[in-house]
Every structure is written in structure tokens, then in C-alpha cells.
Amino acid sequence: MERNLSAIGEMVNSNKSSVCYKKRECDAIGWEALGMQIRKAVWREVRLPICVGIGPTPTLAKVANHAAKKIEGFKGVTVLDTKEIRKAVLSKLAVTDVWGIGNRLGKRLNMLGVSTAWELANRDPT
């Protein structure tokens, strides 16, 4: 883990022109391009294949990382930046695959008719 972070840190320090420090700078560069740069830097430094997930919240970033690993078509990088992409990914994800939801809570949610993460995201919280 420390070597991965070191590789990412070296990428940031050696190539400041391609690294963004503010959200709008990353939007201009492209989040997916940034994720690919991170993957390549870690591979180059430690020869370890990784997946990168980027999302607006920590939970959605974890979901994006899961999608990058498990769902075909993302090529190791998933960016959940639009509602369409969120819907596509969350509708393929079982509710128990969401970080923090275990089997017991998953069974209770299934009894309430919630089986996917997309259904959970659109459920009225009350």
C-alpha cells in the first residue's frame, strides 16, 4: 500500500501539469484520464494492477471502484459523474455490495422490495 501511494505521489510531483488541484481543473483534464494516469503510475512503479473508482462521495467512490473491477466495459477506471452512469452501475450492484450493508440488513431490505443499489438510492428515506 505504501509503495502504491508513493508511486502516486511521485506521479504528482514529477508531472504537475497533468495533476489537478481543484475540481474544475480535474473536470477540464478529465477524471477518467486522471484515473488512467494513476493506474499507469502504480503499474510502472510496483507492477501491481489496480482499479480506480471516482465518485462524489466516499461510498460512491467505493461503488465506482467495485464497478471498475467487476463490471465489463470500464477498463479499470470508473467515474460516477453523471446520473446515467450512476444508474447503469447502481442497477447492476446488489444492495449487499454497498459499503456498510451486510447480509442481515440486505435481507431486510430485500423484504422491503429493495434488491439493487439503484433501488436503495431512489428509496424514500422515511
Same domain, 42 and 66: no
pTM attached to this predicted model = 0.73
Phi, psi of 50 (to 5 degrees): -130, 165
Question: Could you tell me the residue range of the domain that residue 119 belongs to?
Answer: 54-126
| 37-40, Cβ contacts within 8 angstroms, sequence gap of 24 or more | 37/11, 38/8, 38/11, 39/76, 39/77
Same domain, 59 and 86: yes
Q: What is the pLDDT of residues 34-77, one digit of tens each?
A: 899 889 988 888 898 999 999 988 889 999 999 999 988 888 99
Same domain, 40 and 86: no
Final residue belonging to a domain, choices 50, 65, 90: 50
pLDDT band at 9 (very low <50, low <70, confident <90, very high): low
Q: Which cell goes with 11?
A: 506521479
Same domain, 91 and 118: yes
Same domain, 109 and 122: yes
Same domain, 60 and 89: yes
- Number of domain units in the chain: 2
Q: What is the pLDDT of residues 79-97, one digit of tens each?
A: 999 999 999 999 999 999 9
Residue 105 pLDDT > 90: yes
SS3 126: coil
